[in-house]
Amino acid sequence: MTYLQLSAWFVGAAIVAAIVLSILAGRHRAHTGAVAVTLAVLVILTAVFDTVMIATGLFHYSPEHLLGVHVGLAPLEDFAYPIAGAVLLPALWAALRARRRAQVDPRSDAEDAS
C-alpha cells in the first residue's frame, strides 16, 4: 500500500464520519468559514514544519511509496492528516455540543420544532 492510498482511506473515513456527525448535530453545525481558515493554517504549518523536519533529517519517506509531488520537502501525502483533522474535529465538536445541549434542556429541541 502506498502512502497516497493510506492517506485517501484516512481522509475518506474522516469525511464520512464528519457527514454522519453533522447529521447528528442537526442545526448545531460547525461554521464553514472557521473550518476553511483552520484548514488553510494547518496546511501552511504542515508545509513549513514538515519541510524543516525533513531537511534536518528527523525522518524521511521511502520514495517508491510516494506520489512524487512535494510542497517544499513535504510530500503531498503528509497533508492528509491535517486535512482530516480540520474536517472531522469541528463536526465532532458540534455533535458533542448538540448532545450536551439536548441533555441539559431536553425541551429546547421540542420548542425549536414548533
pLDDT in tens, 12-26: 999 999 989 888 877
For residues 108 and 102, the answer to whether their CB atoms sit within 8 Å is: yes
pLDDT in tens, 26-83: 776 667 888 899 999 999 999 999 999 999 999 888 888 888 899 999 999 999 999 9
DSSP codes of every residue in 11-27: HHHHHHHHHHHHHHHTT
Amino acid at 2: T
pLDDT, residue 88, reads 92
Task: Tell me the whole-structure pTM to 2 decimals.
Answer: 0.76
Helix axes 80-104, 32-55, angle to 10 degrees: 140
Residue 27, burial from CB neighbour count under 10 angstroms (0-12, 13-18, 19+): exposed
What is the dihedral sign for C-alpha 59, 65, 71, 72?
Answer: positive
